[in-house]
């Protein structure tokens, strides 16, 4: 195993850029993860782990073909996006899975900008057996280290894709799925009034909700019933409630 001791090492610079630069992540087609739990999840669910930086005995036994380098704890603290990281830190190839041919339950996020919210939605979607999560508009980067951590490994199990909003109508038409939008409007009906066993549902920006352009694509608008004095739910919480209703109605 190679020993790295310098902050100027090319691998260290690469990892630092993966942690901080979305454009660099996209260009390289990789992202950064931290911790033994995420490493085990990545390996278990077939993600392509491209390189592991580990202190002595941190990563455990790695599968054949996984490249690894040894670093000390000071260098680990330097390269990790976490404070007081236990390591290991590792890079993973970005999601390249094709879209499912005919999904039945799809969650659409538009302009959800908080990485924790996006990660929580991916984690919840995996728990409730969603076929697909689509991210469109100015959503937080699913490969941001904060997003990755908040998925708790679910991003290696849950199928998701980044799309342009203009691509959505053709995809839904091909899948023959109605689209409903979560909205605080006079047109919105109680979530229980809709058949959600086979559909797509969109949740919008934390402060402004769904855009007018996306709402115009919707077959209907839905609202989660709440106490009269409640204004709204957190975007990830609202998406979780909706996905629970979709799962319940599907009978799975």
Give the pLDDT confidence score for residue 102 in this predicted structure: 92
Give the pLDDT confidence score for residue 251 in this predicted structure: 78
pLDDT in tens, 50-107: 999 998 766 667 887 889 999 999 999 999 988 888 889 999 999 877 788 999 999 9
Give the contacts of 50 (CB within 8 A, at least 6 positions apart). 30, 67, 90, 91, 92, 93
Give the pLDDT confidence score for residue 140 in this predicted structure: 96
Mean pLDDT of the chain: 92
How much of the chain exceeds pLDDT 90, in percent? 75
Average pLDDT over residues 120-124: 97
pLDDT in tens, 205-226: 988 889 999 999 999 999 888 8
pLDDT confidence tier of residue 168, bands split at 50, 70 and 90: very high
User: Is residue 189 scored above 80 in pLDDT?
Assistant: yes
Structural domains in the chain, CATH included, are: 2-93 (3.30.1330.30), 105-250 (3.40.1280.10)
User: Is residue 202 scored above 80 in pLDDT?
Assistant: yes
Average pLDDT over residues 23-37: 95
């Amino acid at each position: 195993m190679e020993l790295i001791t310098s902050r100027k090492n090319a691998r260290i610079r690469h990892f630092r850029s993966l942690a901080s630069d979305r454009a660099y992540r996209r260009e390289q087609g990789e992202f950064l993860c931290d911790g033994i739990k995420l490493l085990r999840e990545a390996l278990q669910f077939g993600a392509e782990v491209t390189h592991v930086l580990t202190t002595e005995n941190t990563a455990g036994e790695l599968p054949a073909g996984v490249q690894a380098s040894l670093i000390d704890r000071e260098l680990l603290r330097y390269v990790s996006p976490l404070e007081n990281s236990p390591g290991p830190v590792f890079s993973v190839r970005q999601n390249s899975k094709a879209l499912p041919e005919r999904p039945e339950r799809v969650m659409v996020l538009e302009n959800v900008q908080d990485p924790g919210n996006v990660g929580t939605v991916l984690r919840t979607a995996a728990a409730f057996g969603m076929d697909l999560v689509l991210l469109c508009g100015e959503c937080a980067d699913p490969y941001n280290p904060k997003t990755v951590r908040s998925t708790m490994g679910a991003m290696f199990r849950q199928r998701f894709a980044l799309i342009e909003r203009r691509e959505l109508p053709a995809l839904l038409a091909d899948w023959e799925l109605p689209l409903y939008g979560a909205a605080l409007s006079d047109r919105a009906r109680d979530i229980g009034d809709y058949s959600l066993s086979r559909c797509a549902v969109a949740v919008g920006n934390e402060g402004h909700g769904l855009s007018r352009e996306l709402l115009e694509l919707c077959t209907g608008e839905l609202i989660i019933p709440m106490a009269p004095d409640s204004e709204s739910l957190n975007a990830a919480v609202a998406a979780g409630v909706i996905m629970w209703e979709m799962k319940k109605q599907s009978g799975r």
